[in-house]
Structure 1
Amino acid sequence: MDGHVVVGYDGSPESVAAVRWAAGSAGRLGAPLEVVHVWGIAGHLDTPPVSAASAYVRAGAQEVADEGAEVARSTAPQLQVTAVLDDGPPARALVRRAAGARLVVLGRHGSARLSGVLLGSVALGTVQHAPCPVVVVPRTQVDRASTGLVVVGVDGSRHSLGAVDAAGLYATGAGARLRAVACWQAPANSRSLAAWLRENPARSASDLAAQHAEEALEAAVARLRERYPQVEVEPQVEEGPAAHVLARHAEKADLLVVGTRGRGGLAGLVMGSVSQWLVARAACPVLVSRAVPD
């Protein structure tokens, strides 16, 4: 996990929380931090101002970037921090800055509705296209003390394995312990389930669901112990809706890691329903990994 950490800053309380979390994480990872403020006149950043008014606007935008960098320095005084002014649509600019980065960090803004879940358009666009993991930080993160715990949701899917790798990399760099959580629920009654039960009278559908969760967790833990041996791993299987179970664990975590889509994801969505719900509502920052291992 080489490279820098990128954080978006626009002066809002949500972006203050994001910068503070990014500064702390960059310090733990030993990575430099870029605090990026995006102003809205695409194509004018590197050209001479066309008027005194545009020069004034650009100077004000630079002040916002510098303000964000000062927030980072006050949080982590030893950290290497750069204030960056970029232009164009914010999500596009942040994706561009993410090339070669370890993480992109954003504050959680609830300005766009997707499948009944509030998720800011900048966060959504960045998650969809960034080449590295994206962390979305809630405003309430400002006063939370570190717990040294990273939680990752596991379901046996390829996207889940990508989340496992991202969690292992982050926990290794941050010196955190890692809790891998697999959830299961009894499947709803259906014609296919009834046929399966007739053919397998000795086993219940709940037993099968629990077994699948345990197998997914075993595979994830084996991967973590092989690839990230320095990390202390806590395996856990729980019954219940994945979003609610993971949200409960997030209450005592520094970071929750999820894949963009798992076995419960909805076809046609870039983010699965569980990931969407957690990004919008979890008490701690949520890292979304788009990686799909071979």
Structure 2
Amino acid sequence: MTDPIAVGVDGSGRSLRALIWAAHEATLRRCPLRIIHVLPSTHSYATTDGGRAWEANSRDQRVMAEATAIAQEAHPDLEVTSALPSGSPAAVLLTEAQHARTVVLGAKGMGGFGSLLLGSVALQVVGHAACPVVIVNHVTTGHGRVVVGTDGSAHAQAALAYAFEEASLRGAQLQAVHAWSHPGPHAYVSAAQDTMAKEHVQALEEWLAPLRAEHPDVEVVEQAPDEPPVIALARASDRADLLVVGSRGLGGFHGLALGSVSHQLLQFSQCPLAVIRPQV
């Protein structure tokens, strides 16, 4: 069976945007869509009175029915399955990620994991999922551009491969950004610093070369701006349909599941953000 695109829903507007993005992605990749609504623990239901328990259960069923109807109406030929598991949202989604092509989450929601974008649940999912995770805050279309950040690390190479796939599927231009900063004052550009800039451009071309050969249909624009990566990528995301980054780069502490750049872009990206880690 083909691995599905898994999306978490909770009835909020932002989880609806995640659902719409996920359904479109599943259609592009010709794979099933799996809709997940995480229920409170059974203990939570048991400690409420009968009326409140019935009301909560009714709402959960309605959330799932509406999400399924929206996906099927937008994509009639899409195979849609659903699940109403109970338990810890992070644990449920990480389990789903083991058998999913991609996990898609809304940036914020009414409750549960969706409202904790910068809290422990979302960070656990983004930092530890076995598959790519896409965080949908703003749904952007029509730019015809996928942006990817790269620094030559293993995580960045995985992000490049994913970004090339996405650009090919969408018939979009790929904007590859390798941001760097020279050590001296920006007002002073020496010959050595100019040489450094050329070296960064050459490195970017080398990282892109094998993937360009695999995807000759993808138009690639290279950028090696002399500025912090978060600033460069956040700016580029304002003109993109998808931003792709590795879960961590060359810098920082290797014990961390999520690097500082990807962590900050969870907040500052102006389009859906895909966080990728190498497959082991």
TM-score, L = length of structure 1: 0.80
Q: 1:261, 1:270 within 8 Å by CA — same for their partners in 2?
A: yes
- Paired residue total: 266
Query: 1:84 maps to which residue?
Result: 83
Residues 159 and 292 of structure 1 are in contact (CA less than 8 Å); yes or no, is this contact kept in structure 2? Answer: no
In structure 1, what is the equivalent of residue 259 of structure 2?
272
Identity %, equivalent residues:
41
CA distance in 2, matches of 1:292, 1:211: 31
Q: Distance in 1 between matches of 2:165 and 2:119?
A: 27
Q: Does 1:26 align with 2:1?
A: no
Q: Verify the 8 A CA contact 1:7 1:22 in the aligned structure 2.
A: yes
Instruction: Give 1:154's aligned residue.
Output: 150
Which deviates more from structure 2 when the two are superposed, residues 263-272 or residues 13-22? Answer: 263-272
Deviates further, 278-287 or 219-228? 219-228
- 1:186 corresponds in structure 2 to 182
Per the alignment, in what secondary structure is the counterpart of residue 225 of structure 2?
Answer: strand
Equivalent of residue 216 in structure 1, options 200, 203, 225:
203
Shift of 1:7: 0.6
Q: CA deviation at 1:95?
A: 1.7
Note the C-alpha offset of 1:134: 0.2
Secondary structure of residue in 2 paired with 1:275: helix
**1:120 deviation in Å?**
3.9
Distance 2:126 2:40 in 1: 20
Q: Which residue matches 2:39?
A: 39
Structural mapping, 1:55-134, within 5 Å? 57-109=56-108, 119-134=118-133
Measured on the aligned residues, the alpha-carbon RMSD in Å equals: 2.8
**Structure 1 residues 225, 271: closer, same or farther in 2, change over 3 A?**
same
Aligned to 1:168: 164
Give 1:161 shift.
0.7
The CA distance in 1 between the partners of 2:167 and 2:247, in whole Å, is 19
Shift of 1:82: 2.0
Structure 1 SS opposite 2:24: helix
The superposition leaves residues 237-277 of structure 1 with CA deviations (integer Å, 9 ceiling, x where unpaired) of 21211111111111111110000111244454321111111
Change over 3 Å in CA distance of 1:209–1:272 after alignment to 2 = farther
Distance 1:176 1:187 in 2: 35
1:188 Cα deviation from its structure 2 partner? 5.8
Aligned AA for 1:281? F
Match in the other structure for 1:135:
134
- How far 1:180 sits from its partner (Å)? 1.0
Match of 2:246 in 1: 259
Residues 102, 292 of structure 1: alpha-carbon distance in 2 compared, 3 angstrom cutoff: closer
Partners of 1:265 and 1:213 in 2: how far apart?
20
Do the aligned residues in 2 keep the contact of 1:167 with 1:257 (CA within 8 Å)? yes
The match for 1:192 is: none
Distance 1:88 1:207, change over 3 A: same
Distance in 1 between residues matched to 2:271 and 2:25, nearest whole Å = 13
The AA in structure 1 aligned to 2:127 is Q
Aligned-partner SS, 2:10? coil
Name 1:234's counterpart in structure 2: 221
**Displacement of 1:217 after TM fit?**
0.9
Partners of 1:234 and 1:124 lie apart in 2 by 31
Which structure has the highest strand share of the two? 1
